[in-house]
Every structure is written in structure tokens, then in C-alpha cells.
């Protein structure tokens, strides 16, 4: 069974801090994704990566960056955290080149609060 592990379930940081959210998958998947989930808005794609060192912006990349130095690990970085980045962050992975034709496997999320 695919396992996607996010390093923290809950995180509290202060405005202006640089924040790192880590995600690891154990199934050698090519694609990895970062979403944020907010009430009434569903899941919105921040960034995705289809290979090591490759990344593409999603719908809401502003204020975020990502890093994928190894195939199994995908990091989301908040360069200077702001209160409007308080949210649930979900990492996912999927197999193969096509982004929509393979099921995504999700971690259980990191609830991030920016004070």
C-alpha cells in the first residue's frame, strides 16, 4: 500500500518565519503535489513536480516555493509566513507521466497556524 507521510500533523509558526513542510512517499511515484484545503474552497493546487528537480506552478503558488532533490521527498516552503497562509496542507503522489489519469495518494495533512 502506498504511504505518503507528512512530517508534522500540527505546526504553529509566527508571521515572517520561513516554514518548511516535508512530505515523503514510499512507492517510487513520479508525481508529487502540494495542496491547501480551506473550508468552502476544497483543495487548491499550490505546486506539483513530475520528476526530481522539476516543478510546475499550480493555481495558487504565490508566497510558496518547493524543492524536490530526491524522488521520494517533496518540500513546501513558505518564504515569509503570513496569517493568510493558515490552512490545512495536503501532500499527494501519483504514478506515471499523466497528471489526471492516475489516482493520487494523500498524506493526512499538516494543519499550519500562523500567528
Binding site for other proteins (CB under 8 A): 4, 33, 35, 40-45, 48, 56, 58-59, 90, 92, 98-101, 103-109
Distances 90 to 6, 8, 23, 55, 104 between C-alpha atoms, Å: 8, 11, 9, 17, 11
In angstroms, rounded to a whole number, what is the distance separating the alpha carbons of residues 39 and 55? 27
Cβ(8)–Cβ(76) under 8 Å?
no
Report how far apart the first and last C-alpha atoms of the chain are (Å, whole number): 37
Minimum distance of other proteins from residue 10's CB (angstroms): 11
- Residue nearer to other proteins on the CB measure, 23 or 114: 23
Minimum distance of other proteins from residue 41's CB (angstroms): 6
- Residue nearer to other proteins on the CB measure, 16 or 103: 103
Minimum distance of other proteins from residue 9's CB (angstroms): 8
Amino acid at each position: 500500500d502506498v504511504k505518503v507521510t507528512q512530517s508534522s500533523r500540527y505546526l504553529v509558526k509566527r508571521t515572517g518565519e520561513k516554514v518548511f513542510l516535508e512530505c515523503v512517499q514510499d512507492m517510487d511515484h513520479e508525481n508529487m503535489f502540494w495542496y491547501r484545503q480551506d473550508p468552502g474552497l476544497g483543495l487548491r493546487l499550490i505546486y506539483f513536480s513530475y520528476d526530481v528537480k522539476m516543478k510546475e506552478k499550480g493555481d495558487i503558488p504565490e508566497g510558496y516555493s518547493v524543492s524536490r532533490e530526491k524522488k521520494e521527498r517533496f518540500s513546501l516552503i513558505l518564504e515569509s509566513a503570513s496569517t493568510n497562509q493558515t490552512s490545512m496542507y495536503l501532500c499527494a503522489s501519483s504514478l506515471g507521466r499523466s497528471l489526471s489519469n492516475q489516482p493520487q495518494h494523500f498524506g493526512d495533512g499538516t494543519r499550519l497556524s500562523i500567528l
